[in-house]
């Protein structure tokens, strides 16, 4: 099992910052709704702008910095992954297709066998 710790927001200033970020997002949604008669680009701009402002506000909190650090660490981990070559990918895909076809045939045979036993032998239906 994983031995991870649950981290909560304990600082009052961090709570205020995150609450303010949520309020900015809500204001963006309300602004999008209020600008119903305006061009779509203006409405979307208001909403995206509110998301950007909320992200900036959240970034200055401790959970925001942890999230950025997590993203950075995740990106560095992805760079270390050894990706399969095109040939390996094609071979593995072929193996998967062959296995799926073989299992389909096997399940069809089992189904027909059970159908014959149940309907033919036990119930006497044709």
Whether 44 and 76 share a structural domain: yes
pLDDT of residue 4: 66
Residue 93's H or E segment, with its range, is helix 86-115
Whether 71 and 56 share a structural domain: yes
pLDDT of residue 11: 79
pLDDT of residue 50: 95
**How many helices (H) and strands (E) in the chain?**
4, 0
Tally Cβ neighbours within 10 Å of residue 17.
20
Whether 14 and 54 share a structural domain: yes
Whether 108 and 60 share a structural domain: no
Domain carrying residue 115: 84-126
- Alpha-carbon distance 77 to 69, whole Å? 12
Backbone angles phi, psi at 39, to 5 degrees: -60, 150
pLDDT of residue 6: 65
Whether 4 and 63 share a structural domain: yes
Q: Which of 19, 29, 70, 36 is nearest to 51 (CA)?
A: 29
Whether 5 and 31 share a structural domain: yes
- Structural domain count of the chain: 2
Whether 62 and 95 share a structural domain: no
Give yes or no for a contact between 47 and 29, defined as CB atoms under 8 angstroms apart: yes
Whether 72 and 88 share a structural domain: no
pLDDT of residue 3: 63
Q: Is the pTM of this model over 0.85?
A: no
Whether 61 and 7 share a structural domain: yes
Tell me the pLDDT of the chain (126 aa) as tens digits.
556 666 665 678 888 888 999 999 999 999 999 988 889 899 999 999 999 999 899 888 888 888 888 999 999 999 999 989 999 999 999 999 999 999 999 999 999 999 999 998 888 886
pLDDT of residue 74: 94
């Amino acid at each position: 099992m994983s031995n991870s710790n649950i981290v909560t927001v304990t600082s009052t200033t961090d709570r205020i910052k995150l609450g303010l970020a949520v309020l900015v997002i809500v204001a963006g949604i309300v602004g999008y709704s209020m600008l119903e008669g305006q061009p779509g680009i203006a409405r979307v701009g208001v909403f995206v702008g509110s998301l950007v402002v909320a992200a900036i506000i959240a970034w200055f909190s401790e959970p925001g910095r942890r999230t950025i650090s997590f993203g950075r660490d995740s990106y560095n981990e992805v760079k270390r992954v050894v990706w399969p070559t095109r040939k390996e990918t094609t071979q593995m895909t072929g193996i998967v297709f062959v296995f799926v076809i073989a299992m389909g045939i096997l399940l069809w045979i089992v189904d027909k066998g059970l159908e014959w036993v149940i309907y033919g032998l036990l119930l006497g239906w044709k």
